[in-house]
Copies of this chain bind each other. A is one copy, B any other.
């Protein structure tokens, strides 16, 4: 891919960007190659010049998703001018705001959507998601461990287990948000997180 022209690089990026939005909204099986190329304004035949397959595209879209969506939240999580516990709360608040304000309580999390739909049917996609979410959990766990050292969070709770639980709760809240077509599950999640940690 490093030998592509500048024009090709742009097409590749546009396909990924526009295609990722559709994949995020509709899921894997309801997203056709035609949907993607139409959204990107790229000829259909070109798709296979840039990506080996629909699966290859999806794996790359997952990488792009985490590369785009997570760094701003990570900045909040690693803002050392704030206490560790507050950083964690700010982190979840930040993500809640994105869900509510930027995504209008729709779409949820692309990785969760794809995991739910595809994890048992496509190993490459499952692995691509697992690698990234494990990494996210590691970052959050570090912050929780710091908060425990500061005495801000109960040390009888294993940090990694607590984070896994909270991340699962966040995932579930996003599914319910779609099911209820409501921000309540997200707000309820935030409210509970404040009470629990």
Check if A119 is an interface residue, CB within 8 A of chain B.
yes
Copies in the complex: 2
A185 CA to B112 CA in the complex, in Å? 14
Q: Distance in Å from the Cβ of A83 to the closest Cβ of chain B? A: 23
Q: Which of B119, B121, B164, B176 contacts A168 (CB under 8 A)?
A: B176
A-side interface residues, number (CB < 8 Å) = 46
Binds B, one of A5-13, A25-33, A89-97, A138-146: A25-33
Are A133 and B169 in contact, with the CB atoms below 8 A? no
A121 CA to B25 CA in the complex, in Å? 9
Check if A69 is an interface residue, CB within 8 A of chain B.
no
Q: Distance in Å from the Cβ of A123 to the closest Cβ of chain B? A: 9
Check if A108 is an interface residue, CB within 8 A of chain B.
yes
Q: Which of B106, B157, B164, B188 contacts A185 (CB under 8 A)?
A: B164
Are B196 and A115 in contact, with the CB atoms below 8 A? no
Q: A151-197: which have CB < 8 Å to B?
A: 157, 161-162, 164-165, 167-173, 175-176, 178-181, 184-185, 188-189, 191-192, 195-196
A-B interface, 10 closest residue pairs, ranked by CB to CB distance from nearest: A168-B172, A171-B172, A172-B172, A29-B29, A169-B169, A119-B178, A115-B179, A116-B116, A165-B192, A168-B173
